[in-house]
Amino acid sequence: MEHTTLAHHLLLAGLLFALGLTGVLVRRNLLVVYMCLELMLTAATLALVAFSRFNRTMDGAIFVFFIITVAAAEVAVGLALIVALYRRRGSVKSDELTTLRD
């Protein structure tokens, strides 16, 4: 089997990112949209780790730790927002939340 290179990692990261983006664009349930967003974020961190590994520096890897920490906090806020939204509006379908148009 061929040795894995940076390009392989980046391709995988790009695929993950595209998958997440597609989810964000086509799904209607906010919870799923949110999961897809997290997938996009993970793709970005994967690219960072890959760069870090192949450039033999620790910068990217350390950066990822920060991203994971911040992402954890962000998930807490985001999920709380979705729960609050559901309690208030009784729905988490993104197509039904169009108040901002007016």
Partner 1 sequence: MSPDFASLVHWILFLPLGAAVFSALFLRRAGGFAAWFSTATAFTIAGLSLKLLLQSSGDVTWHVELAKLGEISLGFGYLIDANARLMLFVVSFVAAWIHLFSVGYMHEDAARGRFFAGLSIFMFSILGIVVADNLLMTFIFWELVGFSSYMLIAHYFDKDFAAAASKKAFITNRIGDLGFILGIALCLHLYGTLDFVALKAAAGPVVPVAVGALLMCGFLGKSAQFPLHVWLTDAMAGPTPVSALIHAATMVAAGVYFMARVSFLLAPEVLQWMAISGAGMAALAGLCALAQTDIKKSLAYSTLAHLGIMGCALGLGHPELAVLHMAMHAFFKATLFLGAGSVIHGCHHEQDMLKMGGLLKKMPLTAATFIAATLSNCAVPFFAGWYSKDAILEAAWHGHHVAVFAFLALAALATCLYSGRMIRLVFLGEANSEAAEHAHESPWTMTLPISVLGLVFAVGAGFAAHYLIPASSLQVVHESLADMHFSLTAPSTIVGLLALALGLGGALKFYGAARGADALQAVSPRTYALLEHRWMDGLYRWWIDGPQRRLAEFIAFLDLLLINGVAVRWIAGGATAALGHLTGRTFHDGKTRGYAFWIVVGSLLLAWYLLAR
Q: Which residues of the chain form contacts with partner 1 (CB under 8 A)?
A: 21, 24-26, 28, 33, 94-95, 97-102
Q: Min. distance of Cβ 70 from partner 1 in angstroms?
A: 21
Q: Min. distance of Cβ 33 from partner 1 in angstroms?
A: 8
Question: Where does residue 70 rank: exposed (0-12), middle (13-18), buried (19+ CB within 10 A)?
Answer: exposed
Distance CA 81, CA 43 (A): 24
Nearer to partner 1, 1 or 25 (CB): 25
Nearer to partner 1, 71 or 85 (CB): 85
Distance CA 76, CA 94 (A): 20
Nearer to partner 1, 46 or 92 (CB): 92
Cβ atoms of 78 and 71 within 8 Å: the answer is no
Q: Min. distance of Cβ 98 from partner 1 in angstroms?
A: 3
